[in-house]
């Protein structure tokens, strides 16, 4: 059954999203661990600690995406610049979503749900826009299989 699905567009997109999620977990974990190291153990101020840890996570994320998730179809420095722009946009989007959701008392009381919604939204935002940064593809399905337009009668 998996052999039949392996070349299918939906399977390939799902596989790419799983790899994207794995790379994102690694980068996010590194960001979090470095932040805790800097603030709790080295007693650095939170703002510079976050700048260094988030930048490190962003770099790890870029290189993992370049290596195992996307097929680079641009110059590496162009993909990197677009990836950084997308990352900053994701931070802004997540912050805006958290702000807007916490205007509602339910989400204000249940921050774990608020953060989950923001994280999931930013995940998809990052996936599709970073896919564009690397592969020049912005469509919502994999473009690995091309279909001919229907014949005109």
Per-residue model confidence as pLDDT tens digits over 46-103: 868 878 887 888 889 888 988 887 777 778 788 778 777 888 887 778 778 877 888 8
Q: Over the stretch 50-65, which tens digit does the pLDDT of each residue have?
A: 788 878 888 898 889 8
* Domain end marker among 47, 69, 91: 69
Average pLDDT, the chain: 76
Q: State which of 17, 41, 69 marks the end of a domain.
A: 69
Range of the domain at 42: 1-69
Contacts of 8 (CB under 8 A, 6+ apart): none
Has residue 50 been placed in a domain?
yes
Quick one: 6 and 62 in the same domain?
Answer: yes
58 inside domain: yes
Structural domains counted in the chain? 2
């Amino acid at each position: 059954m998996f052999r039949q699905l392996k070349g299918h567009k939906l399977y390939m997109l799902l596989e790419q999203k799983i790899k994207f999620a794995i790379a994102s977990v690694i980068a996010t974990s590194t960001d979090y661990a470095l932040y805790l190291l800097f603030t709790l153990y080295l007693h650095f101020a939170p703002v510079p600690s976050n700048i260094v840890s988030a930048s490190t996570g962003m770099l790890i994320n870029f290189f993992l995406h370049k290596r195992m998730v996307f097929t680079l179809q641009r110059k590496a420095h162009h993909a990197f610049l677009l990836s950084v722009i997308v990352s900053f946009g994701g931070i802004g989007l997540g912050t805006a979503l958290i702000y807007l959701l916490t205007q509602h008392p339910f989400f204000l009381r249940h921050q774990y749900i608020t953060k989950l919604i923001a994280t999931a939204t930013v995940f998809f935002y990052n996936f599709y826009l970073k896919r564009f940064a690397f592969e020049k593809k912005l469509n919502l399905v994999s473009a690995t299989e091309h279909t001919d337009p229907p014949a005109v009668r």
